[in-house]
Amino acid sequence: MSGRLVIVGLGPGAPGLLTHDAEAALAGASDILGYGPYLARLSPLPGQRLHASGNRQELDRARAALGLAASGKNVALVSGGDSGVFAMASAVFEAIENGEAAWRALDVEVIPGITAMLAASARLGAPLGHDFCAISLSDNLKPWSLVENRLRHAALGDFVIALYNPASRARPWQLGAAFDLLRGILPPTVPVAFAQAISRPEERIEIFSLATADPERADMRTLVIIGARASRLIARPALIERPAARPWLYTPRRASSA
Amino acid sequence: MSGRLVIVGLGPGAPGLLTHDAEAALAGASDILGYGPYLARLSPLPGQRLHASGNRQELDRARAALGLAASGKNVALVSGGDSGVFAMASAVFEAIENGEAAWRALDVEVIPGITAMLAASARLGAPLGHDFCAISLSDNLKPWSLVENRLRHAALGDFVIALYNPASRARPWQLGAAFDLLRGILPPTVPVAFAQAISRPEERIEIFSLATADPERADMRTLVIIGARASRLIARPALIERPAARPWLYTPRRASSA
């Protein structure tokens, strides 16, 4: 069995945020699998086969990638962001654990990528400047009560919170419910940032307070960052060449109380 | 004022894990500031000035970078990993907030990088496969009681936990104390991975259970990942070309109880 599988994080979208290792892995693949819009970002080389699949078919896609690798192909399986963060890497190992014994002998490599939380943080300032957590608001694979429990402990622990998958057409109410829960624990002044399609042409950033955050402003392409108690904004002066400067959002490194 | 400051994450060490944007930002700088060992990774261009400083001088380094930018230089300030995760970005905004008014008008850009947690996760499998948090164990800038409170909520919320700065010569006991606290909440079988100097020549990975994790194995270059209750190992067969395969560590996407 000489095939291999490399699981590649493509980053948030801009080609400049791809790593060299990710590019090399893509260039060396005979077959590239992924969700259609991620494959659309690539410029395949002559002879490379692209296999697009739908958004909710992670486990099937993982099995297809493993099967191709087991048949001797050099397979790349792509995710947006980092493939280990709410993306394909976990689905692949789940497929291996429950799949053919031969898959455990495969050469599997994971290439990290810039996950949405890091790209959003960089655009905003330094909101993750201290201890933080990442929670997927999708309740497709976990009960909502578990999401609530994690939100509660994240707020009680005063973590900065990055919310992945805050909303979609099929999950319209979860972000509002999360804000309601957090409003019962955190001060209303805590900053909340909506970072949409970071590094892509349709990028949009909005900053609210927890009291005023409007869940309707989020969609599938949005990452939401909810500050810790110490997170703060730095106002910036208007300049002729930059009349409407967004404030910087950051969380100080220093913290005083438990 | 025509100078600018770009804060660049260099990733975990291997040049292949640098992004194109990070390289371009470095290439465009007249002056590059950073902790000595990070600057040692770079190959400066003719005419570029490197300004090395010590590990604990973040705020002084941030002020120096802002001062140079305000004087018209094109300044790059480098961090290992991602500069927004326990690194220089937060120190820069702290310096801006408390510094000269002119600094707020500066052009400041943050370029994200592959933080240690993502690099370690990729090497291990997919340990961050579900909700997770990142905690710095350093109590240089926060009281230990706050670290304890965050560890407790992270465990009660069943987050995968990535521990940055687990140990140093000046902070020898904190990781042992963290394990002791977590052993009171989490099952003894939870996997614990020590990922040291990932992607660099001296890379070393060790996997323990929470019951057997030895804090003495960690140092300044180590990232520690403590699994959630569902995190698991996948054993791999020994092959002739790979006699001692490390098991994969992953956290399933699916979760059932709160």
How many CB atoms lie under 10 A from the CB of residue A98? 10
* Closest-CA distance of chain A to residue B170, Å: 18
- Check A129 against B158: CB less than 8 A apart: no
Per-residue exposure over B190-219, b if at least 16 CB sit within 10 Å of its own CB, e if not: bbbbbbbbbbeeebebebbebeebebebbe
Contacts of A1 in chain B (CB under 8 A): none
Residue A133 is encoded by which pair of tokens? 């957590």
Q: For B93, which of A153, A234, A235 is closest by C-beta distance?
A: A234
B179 close to B235: Cβ distance less than 8 angstroms:
no
DSSP A257: -
Q: How many residues does chain B have?
A: 258
Provide the pLDDT for residue A257: 66
Residue B149 and residue A157: Cβ atoms within 8 Å? yes
Q: How far apart are CA B63 and CA B195, in angstroms?
A: 32
Residue of A nearest to B233 (CA): A97
A18 to chain B: closest CA residue: B19
Which of B104, B111, B235 is facing A237, going by the closest CB pair?
B104
Q: Does B85 touch chain A (CB under 8 A)?
A: yes
Question: In this complex, which of B18, B58, B84 lies closest to A19 when CB atoms are compared?
Answer: B18
Q: Is A153 on the interface with B (CB under 8 A)?
A: yes
**From the list A112, A150, A252, which residue is nearest B114 (CB)?**
A112
Give the best residue of B61, B136, B153 to mutate against chain A (max A CB count within 10 A): B153
Would you say B8 and B92 are in contact if contact means Cβ atoms under 8 Å apart?
no
* H helices present in B81-200, as ranges: 88-97, 116-124, 144-156, 174-183
Contact criterion met (CB < 8 Å) for A90 and B232:
no
The kind and range of the H/E element at B111 are strand B107-111
Task: Please indicate whether, in this complex, the C-beta atoms of A237 and B84 are within 8 angstroms of each other.
Answer: no
- Single-letter amino acid, residue A34: G
Contact A150, B159 (CB under 8 A): yes
* Interface check A11 vs B, CB under 8 A: yes
Partners of residue A104 in chain B, C-beta under 8 Å? 234-237
Cα–Cα distance measured from residue B55 to residue B220, given in angstroms and rounded to the nearest whole number: 11
Strand order in the sheet with B31-35: B49-53, B31-35, B74-79, B4-9, B107-111
ipTM value > 0.95: yes
- Confidence at residue A230, expressed as pLDDT on a 0 to 100 scale: 97
Give the pairing type, strands A204-209 and A160-164: unpaired
Query: Per-residue DSSP letters for B200-241?
Result: STT-EEEEEETTT--GGG--TTEEEEE--TT-EEE----BTT
- For chains A and B, what is the number of CB pairs under 8 angstroms? 261
Tell me whether residues B236 and A104 touch, CB distance under 8 A: yes
Q: What is the pLDDT along chain A (258 residues), one digit of tens a residue?
A: 578 999 999 999 999 999 999 999 999 999 999 999 999 999 999 999 999 997 778 999 999 999 999 999 999 999 999 999 999 999 999 999 999 999 999 999 999 999 999 999 999 999 999 999 999 999 999 999 999 999 999 999 999 999 999 999 999 999 999 999 999 999 999 999 999 999 999 999 999 999 999 999 999 999 999 999 999 999 998 887 777 789 999 999 988 765
pTM, entire model:
0.97
Characterize the bridge pairing of strands A74-79 and B125-126.
unpaired
Q: Nearest CA of chain B to the CA of A236: how many Å?
A: 5
**Comparing C-alpha atoms, which of B195, B225, B185 is closest to residue B209?**
B225
Q: What is the pLDDT of residue A115?
A: 98
In tens digits, what is the pLDDT along chain B, a chain of 258 residues? 578 999 999 999 999 999 999 999 999 999 999 999 999 999 999 999 999 998 778 999 999 999 999 999 999 999 999 999 999 999 999 999 999 999 999 999 999 999 999 999 999 999 999 999 999 999 999 999 999 999 999 999 999 999 999 999 999 999 999 999 999 999 999 999 999 999 999 999 999 999 999 999 999 999 999 999 999 999 998 887 777 789 999 999 988 765
